[in-house]
Structure 1
Amino acid sequence: MNQTYNGMSTGELPAVAWKKSRRSNPSGNCVEMAELPGGAGIAIRNSRDPDGPALIYTTDEIAAFILGARDGDFDHLIQ
């Protein structure tokens, strides 16, 4: 796989299994995440633009975000 970078087209990524949150709704207000091969990180895309840009994060970055969200660190952003 070529080097991944933030904003790269999802079409440039290898075939990955995109997963959408169960909290997604029919209005398309959701994002999808996929594990990149070989532990290269996690890709995130807008489900309404599946061929658009992807944001690429390390597994540690995603873990910090998810654990922070679980702890309520970002609750003020949705109130």
Structure 2
Amino acid sequence: MIVKWRKSTYTGGANDNQCVELGRLAPGVGIGLRDSKDPDGGRLTLSPAQFAHLIEQIKRDPAC
């Protein structure tokens, strides 16, 4: 499966390479996160529930 990575809409724009990219992985695998500066490097894989929890944490405390 080819993962379609996308940058957050909160970055500086399409040419901003200082951000995290998200990608929906194979069904049942979850959400992938990677560093846009190192797309071939490692990635963090979260279940949909873990990803939702991460987003809630960021909304509550954007400084974390």
Match of 1:69?
A: 58
Q: Mind listing any 5+ residue stretches in structure 2 that lack a counterpart?
A: none
Match of 2:2?
A: 15
Match of 2:46?
A: 57
CA RMSD of aligned residues (A): 1.6
CA distance in structure 2 between the partners assigned to 1:76 and 1:52 by the alignment: 25
Residues 64 and 20 (structure 1), Cα distance of their counterparts in 2 relative to 1, 3 Å cut: same
Aligned residue-pair number: 62
Structure of greater relative contact order (alpha carbons < 8 Å, 6+ residues apart): 1
Comparing both structures, which one devotes a greater share of its residues to helix?
1
TM-score by length of 1: 0.67
Q: Mind listing any 5+ residue stretches in structure 1 that lack a counterpart?
A: 1-13
Q: Map Cα deviations across residues 37-58 of structure 1 (whole Å, 9 max, x no partner).
A: 1131111000011111111111
Asked which structure has the greater CA Rg, the reply is 1
Identity among equivalent positions (%) equals: 32
